[in-house]
Amino acid sequence: MWNATFPYQGVEIVAAILEVAIAFRLARRFASGARLLLHAAWILAAIATALAPPAYALFLATDRWVSPVYAHIGTQFWAFGVVFPIVAIARRARMKITPGGAAGIVAWTGCLALAFIMLVVEPNRIEVNELRVPMPRLRGTEIRVAHVSDLQTTSFGDREARALDGVRAMHADLVVFTGDYISKGLGDDTQIAAARRFLAGLDAPHGVFAVAGDSEEEWERELIFAGLGNVHYLQNASETIDVNGVRLAIVGMQRFKFDVEASFRDVPAGVPTIVVHHDPDIVEELSGRRVDLLVAGHTHGGQICLPWIGPLVPRTHLGRSRASGLFEVNGVPIHVSRGIGTSGKFAPRVRFLCPPEVTLLHLVPGAP
CA-wise closest residue to 332 among 340, 322, 346: 322
CB environment 16-32: b (16+ within 10 A), e (fewer): bbebbebbbebbeeebe
Yes or no: domain 128-365 corresponds to CATH 2.40.50.140: no
What single letter denotes the amino acid at residue 333?
Answer: P
Lowest mean pLDDT among 67-71, 141-145, 280-284, 310-314: 67-71
Residue 273 has pLDDT above 60, yes or no: yes
Q: What is the pLDDT of residues 175-234, one digit of tens each?
A: 999 999 998 655 578 899 999 999 999 989 999 999 999 888 899 999 999 999 999 999
Better pLDDT: 94 or 356? 356
Rounded mean pLDDT, 91-108: 72
CB 254 within 8 A of CB 260: no
Can you point out the beta strands (E) in the chain? 127-135, 143-148, 174-177, 208-210, 231-233, 237-243, 246-252, 273-276, 293-296, 305-306, 310-311, 325-329, 332-336, 357-365
pTM of the predicted structure, to 2 decimals: 0.86
pLDDT confidence tier of residue 99, bands split at 50, 70 and 90: low
CA triple 85-90-93, angle to 5 deg: 120
- For CATH 3.60.21.10, list the domain ranges present in the chain: 128-365
Q: C-alpha 308: how far from its chain's center?
A: 21
Three-class DSSP category at 257: coil
**pLDDT the model gives residue 12:** 72
Q: What is the pLDDT of residues 110-134, one digit of tens each?
A: 889 999 999 999 999 999 999 999 9
pLDDT confidence tier of residue 2, bands split at 50, 70 and 90: very low
**pLDDT the model gives residue 198:** 98
Q: What is the pLDDT of residues 244-263, one digit of tens each?
A: 899 999 999 999 999 999 99
